[in-house]
Amino acid sequence: MFRHDGHEIIAVIEGPEAWVKHFSDQIGLGLDSGWMMELTHGEGKDPMGPSSDEPILPGPPPDPSRIPAVIREIGSFDPTQNSDATSPPDLDENELKIFISEMPEPQIPPDSISMDPLTEEWLRLVMAIVITEHGLSSLTPQKIADLLSERTALDEIAVSLALKRLWASGKVDRILTDSGHEYAPSPSWIQVYRD
């Protein structure tokens, strides 16, 4: 059996040992990319019957020398090193307010059963942008109301009530922090804006 996980290629060659070796060499496959295993059920043995032999495990025997070693001194690993290269950009609220103010009004899904579908779509849009573009996992009602202040008449109370309804329907999670409640959207609920 020969496999290449990068391209999801798996090739199984069955036959006599000499023929399998010859054929795999001809097509450029070596034992570095696969293994050979004897098939006992093809030699007249009953594959379902009892066997006194030890079972043969598939694959090559373990080779610890092929596992790359990562050696560090205890306490020397710094998880914050190079974190700036992979971290999302900081949330610039003014820039995001301008961006939201220039967006078209979100489309209300035809199958929506929400009591206030337009408010729900604005909340879904803001949370999707903040999470996918800026890496924040949750927002306070006040921050959401501030981001929508240029575009809608929703204040903190209206946003808070709408988020509580969404929490009751399972579309957002409520998180208790030292500064109060924050809300994190369900991934499936904001998927429409990720696609």
Q: Is residue 172 helix, strand or coil?
A: strand
Looking at residue 122, its pLDDT comes to 85
Phi and psi based region of residue 182 (left: phi greater than 0; alpha: psi -120 to 50; beta: remaining): beta
Low-confidence stretches of the chain (pLDDT beneath 50): 42-49
Selected from 1.10.10.10, 3.40.50.11290, 1.10.1660.10, 3.40.50.150, the CATH number assigned to the domain covering 89-194 reads: 1.10.10.10
Looking at residue 46, its pLDDT comes to 46
pLDDT in tens, 1-19: 566 666 666 777 777 777 7
**What residue ranges do the domains of the chain occupy?**
2-66, 89-194
Looking at residue 48, its pLDDT comes to 47
What one-character-per-residue DSSP string does 101-150 give?
HTSPPPPPPTT---SSHHHHHHHHHHHHHHHHHH----B-HHHHHHHHTT
Looking at residue 8, its pLDDT comes to 66
Q: What is the pTM of this model?
A: 0.49
